[in-house]
Chains A and B, each alone.
Chain A
């Protein structure tokens, strides 16, 4: 006589636990739900502008490797190029050039820049990044990938890009 009761209680308990668990999961993933819905409406062309500069044409403006440092190109997509700075096999930093035509907010954030590097508006972002905006269009970033690579190292590396060449691209 007792068993059906136990079963019923157990079923109710399990059901409420299931509801609780699924409710928590939905909440946890909601932070990116909106952008997922918007960005999946259009299948192609929403992330990179049609007239964005080809990543391959950025490569020549990166600093050359020197004094034991190695430069390894890693990504080359439309509107974007990226290389690693390595020493003794260790990743020290990432260097990137991107065309803000695809992402105007990336250029807009420089309006508040109070700093300059090589004559161009510059920003420190978060704890690992320093960025420069060239010709109101191309964003050049250096990102630390090792704690030993500090903000002043980032700034020194940023000074070695060929900004004059890059500015002439557009």
Chain B
């Protein structure tokens, strides 16, 4: 059986490379994201309640809601975990003797292979689609409501907004460059259903993507990317984001030279799990918000 929700939230790290990376992206949305960990603590922070009996009731209702599979919360969690599942062995090695210190990238270069633009683009767009589908599962909107999702992006805050910021910075700007939206779109337009089927992440989450055939799913991915590109380019221009700026800030967590951006992207991909980390936080928050309103 998968881990209970309270365990997932209790086990969220307070300080690891993922957390350091997200903290270093604070400059994009200052003060918006706090690394809230621990199930009881999350209940206190989200609801503002201090009464122990109430906290118990809220926690119990949240657990019931999560464990009821018809409610879609477990499926959303699985999506966040799956699009993020990478070679954690490398990340663990990176951290073994380095918690709280800066991690030099050079030592890991010989164990990394940067992804081709096509693979990177498919990864970026699959993460976007996973966000959209998980959003629908969590909030109860039909799975193909691209319009509802795009409208709600304007209201994204806290950990959800941080996840999207990290997506733009770490899976867009760093590996694909300042014009990553145009580049990704042109790559997507030249991707065949056959190529999509070869992508490991796609193979795993394919069932969750609307559409019967791979071609339908590819069209849905294209449509999703097209709908969110306005929001992404708005974020990039309003914060004046460049790969250089992002890297300068990431230097708080990782020692990196500017000509190694491909390797930095590959390193972050295998050594961090920001989707799963912030996804767990989003899910816990929504469960608790519903639980406290229902009890």
Q: B268 interface residue, CB < 8 Å from A? A: no
Stretch at the interface among B50-58, B211-219, B225-233: B50-58
Verify if B262 is at the interface (C-beta below 8 Å from A).
no
Give complex CA distance A39, B73 in Å. Answer: 14
Set of chain A residues within 8 Å of B61, measured between Cβ atoms: 47, 103
Q: Is B49 an interface residue (CB 8 A)?
A: yes
- Of A35, A36, A80, the residue contacting B290 (CB under 8 A) is A80
B45 to chain A, nearest CB (A): 11
User: What 4 pairs across the A-B complex have the smallest Cβ distances?
Assistant: A96-B293, A47-B68, A77-B140, A39-B67
Q: In the complex, what residue of chain B is closest to A86 when comparing beta carbons?
A: B155
Give the number of chain B interface residues (Cβ < 8 Å).
39
> Residue A155 at the B interface, CB < 8 A?
no
Shortest Cβ gap from A55 to chain B (Å): 6
**Given known A-B contacts A29-B6, A40-B4, A143 and B140 have beta carbons under 8 A apart:** no
Residues of B near any A CB (own CB < 8 A): 1, 4, 6-7, 10, 39-40, 47-51, 54, 56, 59-61, 63-65, 67-71, 138-141, 152, 155, 157, 286, 289-290, 292-295
Give chain A residues whose Cβ lies under 8 Å from the Cβ of B39. Answer: 32
A103 proximity list for chain B (CB < 8 A): 61, 294-295
Q: Identify 8 residue pairs between A and B in the complex whose beta-carbon atoms are under 8 Å apart, listed by A's number.
A: A29-B6, A29-B7, A44-B69, A47-B61, A105-B295, A106-B295, A143-B47, A144-B48
Contact of B294 among A36, A98, A144 (CB under 8 A): A98
A44 cross-chain contacts in B, Cβ below 8 A? 68-70
In the assembled complex, A4 has its CB within 8 A of some CB on chain B: no
Q: Which residues between 76 and 121 of chain A lie within 8 Å of chain B, taking CB atoms?
A: 76-78, 80, 82, 84, 91, 94, 96, 98, 102-103, 105-106
Which residues from B are CB-within-8-Å of A141? 293
